[in-house]
Structure 1
């Protein structure tokens, strides 16, 4: 492969004759994994409002209006989430992602089922403990996904497939928020939402155990033609050489640091909006919980739809060599951060009588963020297919510190949540972080496979 090919990509191999193969089954399963994971992760944004209501729809539904740790509950997931990320990437790389993903999803689902019980018997601290444990287990999700995508995805399909799999996250949000709102307003109450998502997670675990595979070479039913198509293009395939992780080279790589900075800025704004939009709609726009949950979900529906606009366009530009891989990543990252930043600044100056305008700006701020799926979010695989899971583990761990800090930072702003000034500060701070992160990314990012991708090779093949 020539240096030019590393940046623009080699000529793609012809696709297998079969239109639906083993790789598509993996992609669909991983897509549903992100749907369920994000449903479990995000339903607390609406659930906590219902849990703290003074007047539930049915007197038999337990509520806890005396609770005072709302922001702590919302951020607790990320306390656990950041801990295993870097280690998860290394462990997944060494032992394979399939069973780590299965076991951690099962544990995550069980603790989702336990939230109503813990709330009743142990109060706020019990819920916080559940959320921390959920975060610990979801810490294996993205390193596993990135490792699997690095092994299963041909170069010509990379942006499209990564966007498809990762947009299960926003789609999971779109589904979970109104479902949680519907349960909260029904006779079964908010506990029903947690029972539903815990059950879905366990069902997915069974399907993945039966149908999932670490790589094409470990899939019993893949055709020879499809395996050669995947592994012939993919320098992160199972036939790769056994490599040690080049920690020093990674830590001093400016293209990798650019991905880390972009990921961190993205997480601040994304999780500020995801955790706080229901509160904004409730406190400023005065929406009840059913309207609130539907309106909170709408921006994420638009994000999901736009991802299917941006990702094929990114692949088209790369495959037809209109732009280099690096420039495609920079263009889409800028679309995904700068346009939302502009919308957030405008949103900070919208008053409570302009609810339609506020909703439009929320849709723009969240929806155009879909472009980052073809920006920094897939750039780990460009830089190092061999170490993509570890790279994602590092950036996901460090960047999610900002997911913890963002809700707590809003709590630290010295205004009540019913005061528009608080939201002006919150939105403008997020916008500034988006802009700074994108500028850094545009300066230092790259689409080239880095020299340390193959550093330390010893030419021993992995056991097949």
Structure 2
């Protein structure tokens, strides 16, 4: 009976699908993509910028200031000191009040402190650290808000594609930011303008979001009625439906939740290690100049961005055609996205100990390690919505907040281990550690992850009844 009801509901949803190729949900998706593009640009431009900020030969203009700092890894880590704090609260705020105006406030403040970095740098590294902590605090609202908005706007059958498009703003922003920062650091205006321009871009996004952003289809006054009916029927949303209380105890006892958390911890450790340290590795070990450094640092993330669409299309196809269950598809995708990078980093660590030129091989392995990692977008990264669509924003807040503690630790471990920046042996230790953590996180996800909606997602059976009623209403 239940299977028949679901099949009938699926047919009705198909009939409700709008004929137009672009709708209100795509505008929201595009705005979130741009948000992550700018936010990640702000987050990572210091990875290349700090090379220019501490290198007197980086700019042709003697008027561009440079500094002598002994705590570069601490500066790069400090963003995450603030980033982990608001995550859980941000998920709850998005759930009960909607994320629109919280995103306005957080992006406004984050943009202003991005603009302040060149000014504060003159006071010392501690002032840059302060700016980065505040940037992290403000960006802590972004991922929980994106997950909440996806749960309100994106039908399940479009989840992998639109979800991947949104989160692909991260690697795309990384590509643009690393390339742009490397280029502008060698011009007469110098590295400060990398921060000024990104701060201005963030403020421009805020203005557009005020006019275009909506918390849900219900809040959208000009949405096509057929598109609204299609979205709400697909998601089982009704205007009268009460907000479900968060089942904290059940979440803590849930192995599928812990599987996502451990997978995200492994991902964040490896991703952050590469993101913050590739420019330093290229400069100190492979001897690339600042401009080439920026281009080569960005290259792997361009591949990441491109492959994310390939992997999401394959994953969506395998699920919708019944080739793989949702849970199996998530585990396969996550395994590809972590085990291939782990193998690449292991090989990079081995050849780093050898006494010959590893430049070409190292670049190829870095491209593979970062590029194939994009497959995790189809793994743990959207699994929150599979196991608990009612609490997806809160779950993302919890896992993103706790897992990014590793993003604080990884750069600090780097500073402790790599005491001689040109030492290939010390760098190989960093690569081995990242590879091991990738494998451990993915193993737990394979063993305990799930693609099924969990019982604790507040009365699954009642929500299914609501879905069926809503679909029948929308039909007429």
- Which TM-score band applies after superposition, normalised by the shorter structure? over 0.9
The runs of 5 or more residues in structure 1 that have no matched partner are none
Any conservation in 1 of the 2:96–2:243 contact (CA below 8 Å)? Answer: no
2:423 counterpart residue number:
419
Q: Answer yes or no: is 1:452 the counterpart of 2:453.
A: no
Matched, 1:109 2:111: yes
Q: Is the 8 A contact 1:151 1:238 kept in 2?
A: no
Distance 2:443 2:12 in 1: 32
Query: C-alpha displacement at 1:262, in angstroms?
Result: 0.3
Question: For 1:110-137, what per-residue CA distance to the aligned partner results, in whole angstroms no more than 9, with x for missing partners?
Answer: 10000011112x2111100000000000
Q: What's the CA shift for 1:319?
A: 1.1
Q: Which residue of 1 aligns with 2:163?
A: 162
- Preserved contact between residue 246 and residue 455 of structure 1 (Cα < 8 Å): no
Cα pair distance change 1:393/1:75, threshold 3 Å: same
Q: Which residue of 2 aligns with 1:59?
A: 62
- Corresponding residue of 1:403: 407
**TM-score computed with the length of structure 1 as normaliser:** 0.95
| 1:186-201 alignment runs, 5 A limit | 186-201=187-202
Per-residue CA deviation, residues 371-394 of structure 1 (Å, 9 max, x unaligned), is 000000000011111110000000
Matched, 1:221 2:222: yes
2:368 maps to 364
Q: Taking structure 1 as reference, are residues 239 and 283 closer, same or farther at Cα in structure 2, changes over 3 Å only? A: farther
Deviations along 1:223-243, one digit per CA (max 9) or x if unpaired, are 111011111111467654321
Measure how far apart 1:350 and its partner are. 2.9
Asked whether the equivalents of residues 168 and 308 of structure 2 are also in contact (C-alpha less than 8 Å), the reply is yes
Give how far 1:289 is off.
0.4
Offset from partner CA, 1:369-416 (integer Å, 9 cap, x none): 010000000000111111100000000000000000001011111641
> Conserved in 2, the CA contact under 8 Å of 1:156 and 1:319?
yes
Q: Which residue pairs with 2:234 in the alignment?
A: 233
The CA distance in 2 between the partners of 1:12 and 1:407, in whole Å, is 51
- Residue 86 of structure 1 corresponds to 88
SS in 2 for 1:448: coil
Ranges in structure 2 where 5+ consecutive residues have no aligned partner: 467-476
Measured against aligned partners, the alpha-carbon deviations of 1:30-81 in whole angstroms (never above 9, x if no partner) come to 00000000000000100011101133421100110x2111011100000000
1:39-438 equivalent positions in 2, closer than 5 A = 39-55=41-57, 56-64=59-67, 66-120=68-122, 122-235=123-236, 240-351=241-352, 353-413=357-417, 415-438=419-442
Residues 432-451 of structure 1: CA distance to partner in whole angstroms, max 9, x if unpaired?
Answer: 00011111000000011111
Normalising by the residue count of structure 2, what TM-score does the alignment of the two structures yield? 0.93
> How much is the aligned-residue C-alpha RMSD, in angstroms?
2.0
Alpha-carbon separation, structure 2, partners of 1:431 and 1:5:
46
The whole-number CA distance in structure 1 between the counterparts of 2:3 and 2:245 is 23
Mapped partners of 1:169, 1:63: distance in 2: 28
What CA deviation, in whole Å up to 9, does each residue of 1:255-309 have, x standing for no partner?
Answer: 0110000000000000000000000000110000000110000000000000110
Query: Hey, what's the Cα distance between the residues in 1 that align with 2:100 and 2:175?
Result: 27
Query: Do the aligned partners of 2:418 and 2:427 also contact (CA within 8 Å) in 1?
Result: no
Q: Distance in 2 between matches of 1:102 and 1:327?
A: 38
The Cα shift of 1:13 comes to 2.1
Secondary structure of the residue aligned to 1:452 is: coil
